[in-house]
Amino acid sequence: MELSGKVAIVTGVSSGIGRAVAEALLAKGMAVAGWGRHAPEGLTHERFQFFTCDVRDEHSVIEAFTNTQRELGPEIQVLVNNAGIGKFGAVANFKSEDWHDLFDTNVHGLFYCTRVALPQMQQQKGGHIVNVASLAGTAGSAHMAGYCATKYAVRGFSDALFKEVRPQGIRVTCVMPGSVETNFNGAEPGSEPNPHKMQPEDIAAAIVHALAAPQATMISEIQLRPTNPK
């Protein structure tokens, strides 16, 4: 798909992968609606607009979509469902509120954003939805049961969704990164890039690759791993 001149929504845009995706899409000539609870610091571009959105709140998602269409036009060619959180710990003493918070953000929020954008894409007879999952959606890990459960859900949702909407010209890609250097797990990235981790820009490049594939081709899943992990 030719990206220049098209409109993309990117959730979780304030930092990390979301911000890197927004910057990569802007570099390709797209207009980007960045959704998040906090605006990305220092990201100013004539084709970037920030819209306050808490994906856990269905009404907030609907409002952000309405505002996006009002400001950037009705057609939405790309939705990147990137917003997500990580909370870790043993199941035996894992807090119920943390479990619900994981699902409210990583699964329910992704569903709200997808559902609000799909009717417009169906009307256009085209569009591309990218769901950012994780390699944690392919194999369980001790002390990560809640997080893994949400990412398995995202992968299953993506697999079902692409089979549902591809007859309408809509593509769905599930991106599953391994270790990425962000402050996702509470650790601040170092001043020097960690050679044992991927960078947010690496994930953004993979997403751009999937979006730019010929219309006859749908890259349904991408798994990304560091070349030389610790």
For the chain, residues with pLDDT lower than 70 are: 182-193
Residue 194 is predicted with a pLDDT of: 76
Q: How many CB atoms lie within 10 A of CB 11?
A: 27
Q: In whole angstroms, give the CA distance from residue 163 to residue 159.
A: 7
Residue 133 is predicted with a pLDDT of: 97
CB neighbour burial string for 51-85, b if at least 16 within 10 angstroms, e if fewer: bebbbbebebbeebbebbbeebeeebbbbbbbbbb
Residue 42 is predicted with a pLDDT of: 94
- Give the CA count within 13 Å in the CB-facing half-sphere of 18: 27
Residue 188 is predicted with a pLDDT of: 53
Say whether domain 7-224 belongs to CATH 3.40.50.720. Answer: yes
Q: Which of 147, 152, 157, 162 is catalytic?
A: 147
Residue 184 is predicted with a pLDDT of: 54
CA 205 to chain centre: 13
Collapse the DSSP code of 15 into the 3-class scheme (helix H, G, I; strand E, B; otherwise coil) and give the result.
coil
Q: How far is CA 210 from CA 1, 87, 206, in A?
A: 9, 29, 6
Residue 179 is predicted with a pLDDT of: 83
CB distance 1 to 17 below 8 Å? no
Residue 33 is predicted with a pLDDT of: 98
Residue 182 is predicted with a pLDDT of: 66
Q: How many CB atoms lie within 10 A of CB 116?
A: 20
- Give the CA count within 13 Å in the CB-facing half-sphere of 226: 15
DSSP letter for 180, please. Answer: B
Domain ranges of the chain: 7-224
Residue 135 is predicted with a pLDDT of: 96
Q: How many CB atoms lie within 10 A of CB 42?
A: 6
Biggest CA-to-CA distance, the chain: 50
CB distance 99 to 47 below 8 Å? no
Identify whether 147 is a catalytic site residue.
yes
Q: In whole angstroms, give the CA distance from residue 90 to residue 4.
A: 46
